[in-house]
Structure 1
Amino acid sequence: MSAPMTAALAARHDAGVLRRFATELFSASGMDPDKAEIVAAVLVEADMLGHDTHGLALATRYLTEIDNGAMTLTGEPEVISDRGACLTWNGRRLPGPWLVVKAMEIAFARLEQHGIVSVAIGNGHHIGCLAAYAQRAAARGKVLTIHSCAPGVATVAPFGGLRAALSPAPFAIGFPTQADPVMIDISASITTNNMALRLSQEGRRYPNPWLMDAEGEPTDDPTVLQRGGTVLPAGGVDHGQKGYGWGLTAEALSQGLSGQGRADGPKGMVNAVFLQLIDPEAFAGLDAFTRQTSAIADKCHASPPRPGMGPVRLPGEGGLRRQEAAERGGVPLRDGILDALQPWVRRHGVAIPPALN
């Protein structure tokens, strides 16, 4: 029988203290201070939203990448093309969260003129949790769509195939309503590489057969990825053509429009990104937009729950409640996350943040 996906959470920590701690670690490792601050904020926000595979658990991998010279720590992206409403960058392996936030700020500034602004970023470093960006856009009354992929790895098999060809290809959509924003953060695969890595390290299994071994049999064993296995596309062996299609879309938009991706043979934690910001005021107006999105949300909330299920929620609703609880009572961190950072803590003389409980 498979072990549950969740594990006991350890101590809670003040969100501001965690952000300062992570900022100090990245800055001490040579990252520009403004970049370090944004990377730290995005990682901590992921933990607050409950996306803990993409929170401070990533800091160890990022710092290892810095030690190996695989992340660029200073400077600006290279502009490949700029037509105002369309901007394309070579991300130069700069920190992914900083690249995305910088791209969004540029897009926000251009929305009044263009209404829709699209940015393609190739050859950037890992961008972390997409929900953090969706929330930023919705809070400003904008609509964000973002597609990302990791052209340096392939763990997802095409539907009907045995050999991996794609990355999990996450994508997110965020938009405002008259109440909570809707924040959709999903991937074209059933699970993610980071979750498979965590379960493998902890000796645990998935609750369902979300992977496929090298012979094509579905399995709940995350270690099959180390033996020629693959992650199943969303829809699994039954309707996996849906996830397969989503994955192709995400990889084409991010790599194709940036002009940088698998064709170049990249290695490591490189990301390609395509993001688009939409201003409802350029269409029927924000009030008209949220009137409609709120009606849709109300219909979903009013749907009677299935037997044994709680009230129907909208995507991102649970994360927002977790974020609010983390602001009040501290951010829960899994056992081992801060311990894994000890080599850099000792090297740079940064103090481990104290727990609140």
Structure 2
Amino acid sequence: MGKVATSEALRFMTDCLKAVGAASRPAQQQAELLLQADRLGHPSHGLNRLEYYINDIKTGACCPNNEPRVLKESASTAWVDANNVLGATAGHFAMDLAVSKAKDTGVGWVSVKGSNHFGIAGWWAQKAADKGLIGMAFTNTSPLLAPTRSKQSALGTNPIAVVAPAENGESFYLDMATTAVAVGKTCVKTVPNEGLWSLSTLDYGVSYVDVIEMQLRKGEPIPKWWAQGPDGKETTDAALAYETQCLMPLGGAENTSGYKGFGLSAMVELFCGILSGSLYGHHIRSWSHSGEGGAADLGQCFVALDPGCFAPGFQHRLADCMQHWRQLQPTDPNLPVLAPGDKERKNFFLENYLLA
């Protein structure tokens, strides 16, 4: 298994994006976003997806050197046209705007249309948290989720991200899809020593996230309530699930409260596509490896909230909660209780290896 310095991985991704026409700044911002996903243990949104962005630019589905623009705004809100730029460009523009408004009024709510895949949602919520604010980020995506009682997909994985700063360097970090599982991830193992980073698409002895594509490659079944076949019934057949591309919502079937995941996905769609005037739900094209299908026109939502506008002691209470959760008696002594974000922190490189 080969190892690559993080600086070299960043250079490689930046150069690839520049080679197909992206200017230096948007190329570097997008590369930083991809590298961050791998660092946090979310390889489905890291280097694994670089070729998708490249092909979107080559086919004209994405215009990386355009500029986002504000279409309408108030003291606390803004409606933005991303103008079909890379997701990282749209994300920085919109969250910077939300943070600025939150600093002035206590809250900033920015709705974006005409965007592209913006990587891990937590990156954008973290951007607000780094300024001492509560950050939230949402995006709609290509249809993969089958609403409860439906045979057909009509909503995306529609992630929810909330990040908040706490006392003593603690932070609450939630970044979750509203489907039961993601369709495909390859495996990345981060190696803190010497700032090294390694990628595996097959089994080289590193631990896989059990997702449908990996189960298919291993010839193993998937757990119940992850996905359904063409008949609308749940399936444990990884090949059938991968072919059908119809995920069950978070919670699984109706009798295991899958309607709650459906409701959360619908809520994200309300905040993103429906509020922004972008494509929404069943109207969004599939994101193909070839870059075909035209512009994505995704809808996204970025929120920044100043906890200082509310009860004093927010950061202390949040840290107290997180520490208490970790100290709860676990059901398995080998698996301690985790607070939201503990897994990401474990995967994250030491500060000495972060790239500006």
TM-score, L = length of structure 2: 0.82
> Do 2:166 and 2:172's aligned partners in 1 also have CA atoms closer than 8 Å?
yes
Instruction: Flag the 1:123–1:265 CA change in 2: closer, same or farther, 3 A.
Output: same
SS in 2 for 1:140: coil
User: Which residue in 1 is equivalent to 2:233?
Assistant: 217
Could you list the per-position Cα deviations for residues 17-63 of structure 1 after superposition, in whole angstroms to 9, with x for gaps in the alignment? 22222112111211121111110001000000000111111101111
Instruction: Decide whether aligned partners of structure 1 residues 236 and 326 sit closer, same or farther in structure 2, where only a CA change above 3 A counts.
Output: farther
Structure with bigger RCO (C-alpha 8 Å, 6+ apart): 1
Q: Which residue of 2 aligns with 1:199?
A: 214
Residue 272 (1) aligns with residue 299 (2): yes
User: How far apart, in 1, do the equivalents of 2:323 and 2:177 lie?
Assistant: 25
Q: Which residue of 2 aligns with 1:293?
A: 318
Which stretch shifts more, 181-190 or 74-83?
A: 74-83
Residue 14 (structure 1) shift? 2.1
Q: Percent same amino acid at aligned positions?
A: 22
Distance 2:320 2:281 in 1: 44
Any conservation in 2 of the 1:15–1:327 contact (CA below 8 Å)? no
Inter-CA distance 128–308: structure 2 relative to 1 (3 Å threshold): same
Give how far 1:274 is off: 0.9
Distance 2:139 2:281 in 1: 16
Q: Does residue 1:232 correspond to 2:232, yes or no?
A: no
Distance in 2 of aligned mates of 1:245 and 1:120 = 20
Contact 2:122/2:137 (<8 A) preserved = no
1:208 to 220, 223, 244: 223
For 2:175, the equivalent position in structure 1 comes to: 185
Equivalent positions of 1:295-334 (< 5 A) are 295-324=320-349
CA distance in 2, matches of 1:206, 1:242: 25
Q: What does 1:28-107 correspond to in 2, within 5 Å?
A: 28-107=19-98
Alpha-carbon distance, 1:192 to partner: 2.0
Q: Structure 1 171/125 Cα, relative in aligned 2: closer, same or farther at 3 Å?
A: same
Deviation per residue, 1:190-212 (Å, 9 max, x gap): 11244467438846556413100
Other structure's SS at 1:31 match: coil
Give the 3-state SS of the residue equivalent to 1:232 in structure 2.
Answer: coil
In 1: Cα distance, 2:172 partner to 2:221 partner: 27
Offset of residue 325 of structure 1: 5.3
What letter is aligned with 1:283? F
Equivalent in the alignment of 2:268: 250
Please tell me the residue identity of whatever aligns with 2:269. E
Mapping of residues 78-157 of structure 1, within 5 Å: 78-150=69-141, 153-157=142-146
Mean Cα displacement is larger for which, 239-248 or 109-118?
Answer: 109-118
Closer/same/farther in 2, CA of residues 289 and 158 from structure 1, 3 Å limit: same
Q: Is the helix fraction higher in 1 or 2? A: 1
CA distance in 1, matches of 2:123, 2:251: 25
Q: CA 1:316/1:13 → structure 2, altered by over 3 Å: closer, same or farther? A: farther
What residue in structure 2 maps to residue 160 of structure 1?
A: 149
Name the SS of the counterpart of 1:277 in structure 2. Answer: strand
SS in 2 for 1:41: helix
CA root-mean-square deviation:
2.4
Deviation at 1:216, TM superposition (A): 2.2
Which runs of no fewer than 5 residues in structure 2 stay unpaired? Answer: 186-210, 288-295
